[in-house]
Amino acid sequence: MPVGFADGAVDAGGLDLVGDLRRVVGWPARAGSVSGVVSWPVGVVGSGVVVVAGLVGVLARYTGQSEVVLGLAGGGVVRVDVAGDPGFGELAGRVGAALATPVADGRVDRVVVGLADGPVDAVGPDVVDAGLTVWVAGDGSGLRVDFAVEEFSAGWVRGFVDAVVTLVAVGVGEPGRGLSGLTLVSGVERERLLGWGRGPVR
Residue 199: CB atoms within 10 A of its CB come to: 7
**DSSP H/E element including 165:** helix 154-173
Instruction: Give the model confidence (pLDDT) of 149-169 as tens digits.
Output: 999 999 999 999 999 999 999
**CA-based R_g, the chain, Å:** 16
Q: Which amino acid is at 64?
A: G
| CATH class of the domain at 31-38+46-176 | alpha beta
Domain boundaries, the chain: 31-38+46-176
Instruction: Give the model confidence (pLDDT) of 99-149 as tens digits.
Output: 999 987 666 778 999 999 989 998 999 999 999 999 999 999 999 999 999
| Cα diameter, the chain | 60
Instruction: Determine the Cα–Cα distance for residues 13 and 47; give it in Å rounded to an integer.
Output: 28
Collapse the DSSP code of 125 into the 3-class scheme (helix H, G, I; strand E, B; otherwise coil) and give the result.
coil
End-to-end CA distance of the chain: 50
Instruction: Give the model confidence (pLDDT) of 48-57 as tens digits.
Output: 999 999 999 9
